[in-house]
Every structure is written in structure tokens, then in C-alpha cells.
């Protein structure tokens, strides 16, 4: 499987994402600059964390207009897996690929520490390797991770089982309903604030995030065997 790791000015988790795919999974990964106008050769799209364009205006607000985002939208519409982590999640929200918005952490402070997550939906291409309600530990590193949406959107997320991950025990940022990660209705676009790419090897403090990437590859291979 061939992944595109999108790099914006200010991305700082692109190397982590590349390492997770290339070294831990043994799959293909390439850095793709933000002004790229085609993602045709890639099977999966990864939007890493960081501070795209310095987080001016709002986190992800400027990156949303990068040339490559037109292709990210096209990839999502074509059913390819699209994963946005931290700033990548914020960009997906700004681009309208996921519903809702991000606000400043309730503490108004940047937070960087491991958190406990619960798997709310393990029937997605991103979470099938996890057990239902499995608890895992994944690090966060953000100042604007307080997910918010209106009541109608929240009802829709619940009805369509689009809430994939929630914070377990302690909510670090005030996120609505403890939401840590959601998917689109089609099920191929996931946005999450915690960093699974920073939890793919015991040397990093834990490997709970590796199952997420394994889930993506497993889904892709099964789909291509069926369609072969």
C-alpha cells in the first residue's frame, strides 16, 4: 500500500508518520509537498500534526486552501482512506471533510502528555484491529483540541456511529462528549487529536497506535483481493 504524507509549511509530525508507515508497517510512504496537484498514485492520504502556516487565523484555516487539498477532497470522494491527526484533523474540519470545529483547550494551555482512549466504534477501516471499548494509551500535543459541534450535528454523529474514539477517564481539553476522533458518514475519512504515529513501538513508550495503521492496510488488502 502506498501512502502520501502531506507536508505543509509548519508540519512537524510528518517524519513520525513516515516512520510509522515505512519502518513499522513496511509499507510505502512518500512526503508530498502542499503545492502538489495530483495524488493519483497513492492509496492512502495522511495529514500529519504540526502548526501549518503557523496556525495563523485559526489552526488549519490557511492549509485548507493549499493546492493539495483539492486532491485530498478528490481522494476522499473516491473512497480512499484519509487520516488527519491533530493539525491534520483541524485541516479536515476547515475543509468540510468532517463536521464540527476546534476551540482552544479549556485550560487555555498547550497540552502534551499520554491520554487514555476508548474505542467506541471498531467497525471502521481505521479501527477494526481494536476490540470494542478497548482502552489504549496515545499521546496528545495540542492547544486547540476542544472539539465542538451543534446539537443537530452531535445527534447525527451518534446516529451514524461516527464517533470512533473518546477520551477515557480524564478529558484533557474539554472536548464535547469526550470526543477524540470521528469519521465521515462514508467511513473513509478519520480525524483524531491524539497521535497514533507516536505510539507504534515500545521504544516510544507504547505501541497502541500501531493497530490503527494495521487496520487501514488490512482493509485495503481485503478490498483489493475482493476486487482482483
Catalytic residue of the set 86, 94, 149, 219:
86
Q: Which residues pair with 98 in a beta bridge?
A: none
Catalytic residue of the set 34, 142, 195, 219:
195
Q: Are 80 and 111 in contact (CB under 8 A)?
A: no
197 catalytic, yes or no? yes
19 catalytic, yes or no? no
195 catalytic, yes or no? yes
Catalytic residue of the set 27, 71, 144, 197:
197
For the chain, where are the alpha helices, taking DSSP H only? Answer: 14-19, 67-77, 87-94, 151-159, 210-227
How far out from the chain centre does Cα 152 lie?
23
Cα dihedral 199, 3, 220, 88 sign:
positive
Of 199, 137, 198, the residue nearest 165 (C-alpha): 137
C-alpha cell at 96: 468540510
Give catalytic residue positions: 86, 195, 197
Amino acid at each position: 500500500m502506498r501512502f502520501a504524507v502531506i507536508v505543509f509549511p509548519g508540519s512537524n509530525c510528518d517524519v513520525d508518520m513516515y516512520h510509522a508507515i515505512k519502518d513499522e508497517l513496511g509499507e510505502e510512504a512518500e512526503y508530498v509537498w502542499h503545492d502538489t496537484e495530483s495524488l493519483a498514485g497513492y492509496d492512502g492520504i495522511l495529514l500529519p500534526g504540526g502548526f501549518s502556516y503557523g496556525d495563523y487565523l485559526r489552526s488549519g484555516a490557511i492549509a485548507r486552501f493549499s493546492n493539495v487539498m483539492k486532491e485530498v477532497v478528490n481522494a476522499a470522494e473516491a473512497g480512499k482512506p484519509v487520516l488527519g491527526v491533530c493539525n491534520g484533523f483541524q485541516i479536515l474540519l476547515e475543509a468540510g471533510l468532517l463536521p464540527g470545529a476546534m476551540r482552544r483547550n479549556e485550560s487555555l494551555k498547550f497540552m502534551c502528555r499520554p491520554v487514555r482512549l476508548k474505542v467506541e466504534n471498531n467497525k471502521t477501516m481505521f479501527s477494526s484491529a481494536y476490540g470494542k471499548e478497548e482502552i489504549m494509551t496515545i499521546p496528545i500535543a495540542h492547544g486547540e483540541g476542544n472539539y465542538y459541534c451543534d446539537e443537530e450535528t452531535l445527534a447525527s454523529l451518534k446516529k451514524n456511529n461516527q464517533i470512533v474514539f473518546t477520551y477515557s477517564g480524564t478529558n484533557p481539553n474539554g472536548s464535547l462528549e469526550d470526543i477524540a476522533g470521528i469519521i465521515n458518514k462514508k467511513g473513509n475519512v478519520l480525524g483524531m487529536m491524539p497521535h497514533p504515529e507516536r505510539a507504534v513501538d515500545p521504544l516510544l513508550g507504547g505501541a497502541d497506535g500501531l493497530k490503527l495503521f494495521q487496520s487501514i492496510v488490512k482493509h485495503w488488502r481485503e478490498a483489493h483481493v475482493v476486487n482482483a
